Amino acid sequence: MDFESYDVLVVGGGLAGIRAAIAVVEANPRLKIGMVSKVYPMRSHTVSAEGGAAAVLRPEDSYETHAFDTIKGSDYLADQDVVEAFVREAPIELIQMEHWGCPWSRDPDGKISARPFGGMTTWRTCFAADKTGFHMLHTVFQTSLKYPQIHRHDEAFVTKLLVENGRCEGVVAVDMRSGRFEAITAKSVILATGGLGRVYAFTTNGNICTGDGMALAYRAGVGLKDMEMVQFHPTGLPFTGILITEAVRGEGGYLTNKDGERFLKRYVPNKMELGPRDIISRAMVTEFEEGRGFEGPHGKFMHLDVRHLGEAVIDRKLPFMRELGREFVGIDIVKDPIPVRPVQHYMMGGVDADISGVTPVPGLYAAGECANVGLNGGNRLGSNSLSECLVFGAAAGRAAAEYASSAKPVGSNPVEAMLKDETARIEAGYLDKKGGEERIGTIREDMQRDMDAGAGVFRTRESLEKLTKQLGALRERFTNIKIEDSSRTFNTELTAALELDFMLEVADTITYSALAREESRGAHARRDFPERDDAKFLKHTIAFRTEEIAPRLEYRDVRITNFKPQARSY
């Protein structure tokens, strides 16, 4: 059977994915690029990023400082060669965004402005008011429309990577509109599927952040690196988990406890509200546990106060925050403090990829939040992620383009067989399944609640071991799910079930990786091992899928170049 094949297929239509696609065109305009996303690209979760994107753009700044800030911020788990390359590429990418029309906020002289941000020693976070992710995503998406080489498959849900003879050759996807199963083949595949926040109950992440790409790669034999490193952002709105950007603190906001005290002076006296996210989140939880948090119907919270900034600054720099406060909490941040509490936000862990997005499976690449290229280590600094998506999206695009330019075409017979198998698996397991007693929503909510309790800001051996058992029980219950939607047309119960399947898988990698890392580093805080242990754990955890539930864990040394690990205090 003859069919066409893409040279590069991008899975995921967010900032990293679209940037990768454009990079392929730029590298080789003769290549044919496919982009498959389970939502229309402008719905990708990049859109909700608020604060900004960091890069060295000012003369008083230096690559070395940005690199050091990032490496120290990572609690020395970052691969330093990757960081050093990243800080050199980031400024170029932000200028490229500007050329593509991104409405960066400006200084009076017309140059791109920058604001202070957590863990950054100088002002290097460029921003577009407080909707940076929104503007960046719409900029790259709209720019991508001018390239006829990019063919989009919108609302196609990828269920499996096609791997033949150890080489990645494409994906199987369900076209949501028609319910048809399709094999989309390609000489190279770039995973850019974002994070997995929805494994937690309280998260800033949208519904679509279910770790799909991580699970797909995991099932294809790729290791998931540093999965225990889950970032909790200090300032989420109670109940909804909606993100209140770090930029609020960057512009001068204060975090106060029940006693009206700027409590961070006892935790990060030199940086105060601009300390790194992991330390501030732990500080807030500690304050809660010691009784100095406000009590509310949706849990304990602190106050984030910007009243002293004045209406003019707020309307100019934080208008979206004012809108969110009014809309979802019924407050005016000009006059009222904002209730905030730590919330799951970002995944440092992800698909094991190198500086060019190359994974151990030939033809498979990964970029953006779903990948772990070694940039963020144990804790990501705010505003490094948007830059990360651009730098490593472009790098993966270029690497995939080069690979695809010389790779052999994909053989059709094996693909047909794989497609048939995958179709049968999903039809038998989900669409044509009869009976079952468990509701998908209930299993999901139980998983989310268990993850919040067992693998939250603070972990213990007991909480993690209990969690492994809970997740095991949930997997059992998952085999007994009930599918009420028998339609093939836009079946969102099927996608919810497939997403839950992915989430249970990656949740296990988080839990087992966390159990094995018997130290506290970055965002991974063990009450039973409160100190950092460079002798044993200056290494990346890599989780490989096995026949059992527990992954096989391997360790890989962190690459140190110029910055020797030191004690981390702010």
Partner 1 sequence: MSVEAESTAPVATRVYKPAMATGWWTHKRHYFWYMVREFTALPMAAWLLWFLIEIQRSGSVKTFRPGTSTAFVIFSFICLLFALYHSVTFLGLAGVIIHIKALDRPVPPRAIVVTMFGLWLVASIVIGAVLIGFGR
Partner 2 sequence: MTDKRITIRAARFDPEKDKVPHMQSYDIPFSDESMVVLDALNYIKAHVDGSLSYRWSCRMGICGSCGMMVNGTPKLTCAAFLRDYWPRPVTVAPLTNFPVVRDLVVDMEDFMHKLKSVKPWIIRKQEMPLGAGEHRQTMDEIDDFRQFSQCINCMLCYAACPVYGLDNEFLGPAAIALARRYNLDSRDQGTKIRLPVLAQSDGVWECSFVGECSVVCPKGVDPAKAIQQTKLDTTLRFVLPYGNRE
User: Under the rule (CB under 8 A), what is the footprint of partner 2?
Assistant: 39-40, 42-45, 47-48, 92, 95-96, 98-101, 103-106, 108-112, 131, 134-135, 138, 142-143, 145-146, 154, 177, 206-208, 239-240, 242-243, 297, 324, 327-328, 439-442, 444-445, 482-493, 496
State yes or no: residue 184 binds partner 1 (CB under 8 A): yes
Q: Which of 77, 78, 183, 510 binds partner 1 (CB under 8 A)?
A: 183
State yes or no: residue 8 binds partner 1 (CB under 8 A): no
Q: Supply φ then ψ for residue 325, to 5 degrees.
A: -60, -45
State yes or no: residue 105 binds partner 1 (CB under 8 A): no
Distance CA 358, CA 356 (A): 5
Residue number with CB closer to partner 1 (34 or 357): 34
User: Per this entry, what is the length of the chain?
Assistant: 570
**Binding partner at 182 among partner 2, partner 1, none, C-beta below 5 to 8 Å by kind:** partner 1
To the nearest whole angstrom, how small is the minimum distance from the Cβ of residue 33 to partner 1?
A: 12
* 3-state DSSP of 4-54: CCEEEEEECCCHHHHHHHHHHHHHCCCCCEEEEECCCHHHCHHHHCCCCEE
To the nearest whole angstrom, how small is the minimum distance from the Cβ of residue 210 to partner 2?
A: 11
DSSP codes joined into one string, 359-412: -SSTTEEE-GGGEE-SSSTTSPPTTHHHHHHHHHHHHHHHHHHHHHHHSPPPPH
Residue number with CB closer to partner 1 (181 or 403): 181
Name which of residues 142 to 181 contact partner 1 (CB under 8 A): 151, 153, 177-181
- What six digits make up the tokens of 164? 């033949």
To the nearest whole angstrom, how small is the minimum distance from the Cβ of residue 159 to partner 1?
A: 12
State yes or no: residue 6 binds partner 1 (CB under 8 A): yes
Strands 350-352 and 371-372: parallel
Surface-to-core class of residue 199, CB atoms within 10 Å of its CB (0-12 exposed, 13-18 middle, 19+ buried): buried
Q: Which of 4, 259, 437, 484 binds partner 1 (CB under 8 A)?
A: 4
Nearest residue to 467 via CA among 222, 209, 228: 228
Q: Which of 182, 352, 354, 388 binds partner 1 (CB under 8 A)?
A: 182
Residue number with CB closer to partner 1 (387 or 423): 423
What is the pattern of x (binds partner 1, CB under 8 A) and - over residues 31-60?
Answer: ---x--------------------------
State yes or no: residue 365 binds partner 1 (CB under 8 A): no
Query: From residue 125, how far is each of 82, 109, 118, 128, 305 by CA, in Å?
Result: 19, 17, 10, 10, 21
- Which active-site residues does the annotation give? 233, 249
Distance CA 333, CA 353 (A): 41
Q: Which helix (H) or strand (E) holds 425?
A: helix 412-426
- CB of 15 closer than 8 Å to CB of 97: no
DSSP codes joined into one string, 197-232: GGGSSSBS--TT-S-HHHHHHHHTT--EESTT-EEE
**Binding partner at 415 among partner 1, partner 2, none, C-beta below 5 to 8 Å by kind:** partner 1
To the nearest whole angstrom, how small is the minimum distance from the Cβ of residue 511 to partner 2?
A: 23
Q: Which of 292, 488, 539, 556 binds partner 1 (CB under 8 A)?
A: 488
- The DSSP output letter for 337 is P
**Binding partner at 508 among partner 2, partner 1, none, C-beta below 5 to 8 Å by kind:** none
- The DSSP output letter for 540 is E
Residue number with CB closer to partner 1 (179 or 221): 179
Residue number with CB closer to partner 2 (330 or 564): 330
**Binding partner at 164 among partner 2, partner 1, none, C-beta below 5 to 8 Å by kind:** none
State yes or no: residue 420 binds partner 1 (CB under 8 A): yes
Q: Taking the CB of residue 315, how many other CB atoms lie within 10 A of it?
A: 12
Residue with tokens 């490989």: 544
Distance CA 265, CA 279 (A): 12
Residue with tokens 């955890």: 541
Residue number with CB closer to partner 1 (190 or 431): 431
Residue number with CB closer to partner 1 (69 or 182): 182
State yes or no: residue 201 binds partner 1 (CB under 8 A): no
Distance CA 538, CA 530 (A): 15
To the nearest whole angstrom, how small is the minimum distance from the Cβ of residue 423 to partner 1?
A: 5
To the nearest whole angstrom, how small is the minimum distance from the Cβ of residue 546 to partner 2?
A: 31
Non-local (6+) Cβ contacts of 217 within 8 A are 161, 191, 224, 351, 359, 361, 364, 366
Residue with tokens 């909790």: 232
Q: Which of 64, 311, 315, 416 binds partner 1 (CB under 8 A)?
A: 416
Residue number with CB closer to partner 1 (122 or 412): 412
* Max Cα–Cα distance, the chain, nearest Å: 72
**Binding partner at 181 among partner 2, partner 1, none, C-beta below 5 to 8 Å by kind:** partner 1
To the nearest whole angstrom, how small is the minimum distance from the Cβ of residue 13 to partner 1?
A: 17
- What six digits make up the tokens of 297? 């119907």
Binding site for partner 1 (CB under 8 A): 1, 3-6, 34, 151, 153, 177-185, 412, 415-416, 419-420, 423, 427, 487-489
